[in-house]
Each structure stands twice: as structure tokens, then as C-alpha cells.
Amino acid sequence: MGKADFLSPKAISNRIKAKGLHKLRWYCQMCQKQCRDENGFKCHCVSESHQRQLLLASENPTKFMDYFSDELKSDFLELLRRLFGTKRVHNNIVYNEYISHREHIHMNSTQWETLTDFTKWLGREGFCKVDETPKGWYIQYIDRDPETIRRQEEQARKKKQELDDEERSARMIEEQVRKGREGKGTDETPLLVSEWEGFEAQREELVIWLADMDVRLTS
Ligand SMILES: [Zn+2]
């Protein structure tokens, strides 16, 4: 199965079904407890443990919300990193993948109202690059792993070194061309001198020959 097939809505919904996530409606987010069915859920809701959690939550709702928000953020980012690396992807694809996990945090128990709110927040906080398109929001994981940063710096350093080397050899070639031009000028001078010397020698020969002729003609 190709990646496109793997991420198609049908494939995702099949995986959700396969994992029995229809049971999620009987999941108590606050206690993070999955109940078997409606009856089980009702029983859980009147249980002492649930009531205790409820009391704690009502006394300190922000603490619970912070906890769930933080969980959602870490799990979502981990999933994004694992599945897509730093590739740009539609937020819904990642979210569908995320909610296909049985133990996922429900958006309504977090500080965010919607997936869009959450996406914008990820962008604002610098966890992801986000951008809005007519088709919705896209996200891109920003890798802050020290090893990755080290590798990126190493690549940047190599790239700079290459550019420096290129610049240096370009300068050397330029220098050679310049020297070559000057050198050619000085090379040309002896050539001219030798030509001139040759010409001078010929002229002398001619003078001698003419003088000789003159002597013979006048004698
Ligand atoms: Zn509960």
C-alpha cells in the first residue's frame, strides 16, 4: 500500500475502525479511562474515583486543561515528526492520524477550541511553520533536535567552505588571467626586438650589397 493510499480518508477510517475507536465515545478524558459501553460509562461516572477527579478538576480546572493541552501538543508533534519529518502537510491528515490513537486527548479538554486554533498556536509558539491556504491549514515540523541542528550547522559550514574555495579559485584564475595579459606584453617585447634585429641585419646586408653593387657599377 502506497503512502497516498495509507493516508486516504478511507484508509484512515478503516484503521480507526480496526482499532475499535467507535468505543471512544465511552472514554472519560478526565480519568483517561476507556469504558466498555454506555452502561460501563454510566457506572464510571458515578464511581468514587471519577467523582474525586471531578472534584479536583473543578477545584483546579486550569491545571487539568494545561495537562491535557501539553499532552496533546507533545503527542501531536511527535506523530508529525515521526510520520512526515519536516515535510509540509495538511493539519487534518496529522490530526486524523492522531485521533486514530485510542488514548488521544480530545480537543475540548484542552485550551484550544478547534484544530485551527491549535495549528495557529503551534505556529505562534514556533513549534511548526504553518500557513493557510484555500484548502485549509498546512503545517511543517521544525526540527530542534540538537543532533539535527549540529548536522545543519555542519552542512552550512561545508557549503560556506565550498563557496569560499570557489571564490578563492575564481580570484586565482582572475589573477592568472591578469598576469597572463601583463606577461604576454613583456613576452612580446623580445619578439619585437628579435624581429627588429633581424630586420636590422637584413638592412645592413642590403647596404653592403648595394655598396658592393655601387662599387662595381662605378668602377
Ligand atoms: Zn472519569
Each residue of 43-79: pLDDT tens digit? 999 999 999 988 888 888 888 888 889 989 999 999 9
pLDDT at residue number 134: 96
Ranges of residues in the chain whose predicted pLDDT is under 70: 1-24, 183-195, 216-219
CA 15 / ligand 1 centre spacing (Å): 26
Q: Give a yes or no: residue 41 inside a domain.
A: yes
Number of separate domains in the chain: 2
Residue 63: the pLDDT is: 82
Task: Measure 135 CA to ligand 1 centroid, in angstroms.
Answer: 37
pLDDT at 24: 61
CATH number for 86? 1.10.10.2030
Handedness of CA 66, 113, 86, 5 (dihedral sign): positive
The alpha carbon of 18 and the centre of ligand 1 are apart by a number of angstroms equal to: 25
| Residue 47 domain-assigned (yes or no) | yes
Distance 69 CA to ligand 1 centre (A): 18
Q: What is residue 114's predicted lDDT score, i.e. its pLDDT? A: 93
Q: Which of 123, 144, 165 is the last residue of a domain?
A: 144
Boundary (domain end) residue, out of 144, 166, 194: 144
> Can you tell me the distance from the alpha carbon of 3 to that of 5, in angstroms, rounded to the nearest whole number?
5
Report pLDDT for 199: 75
Residue-wise over 111-137: b if at least 16 C-beta within 10 A, else e?
Answer: bbeebeebbbbbbeeebbebeeeeeeb
Q: With 0-12 CB in 10 A as exposed, 13-18 as middle and 19+ as buried, what is 76?
A: buried
Distance CA 98, CA 104 (A): 7
Residue 185 domain-assigned (yes or no): no
Dist. CA 50 → ligand 1 center (Å)? 4
107 and 55 in a common domain: no
Instruction: Calculate how far, in angstroms, residue 99's C-alpha sits from the geometric centre of ligand 1.
Output: 19
Listed residues 144, 174, 208: the one ending a domain? 144
pLDDT number for residue 21: 47
* Full domain range(s) for residue 37: 15-59
Is residue 131 domain-shared with residue 70, that is, in the same domain? yes
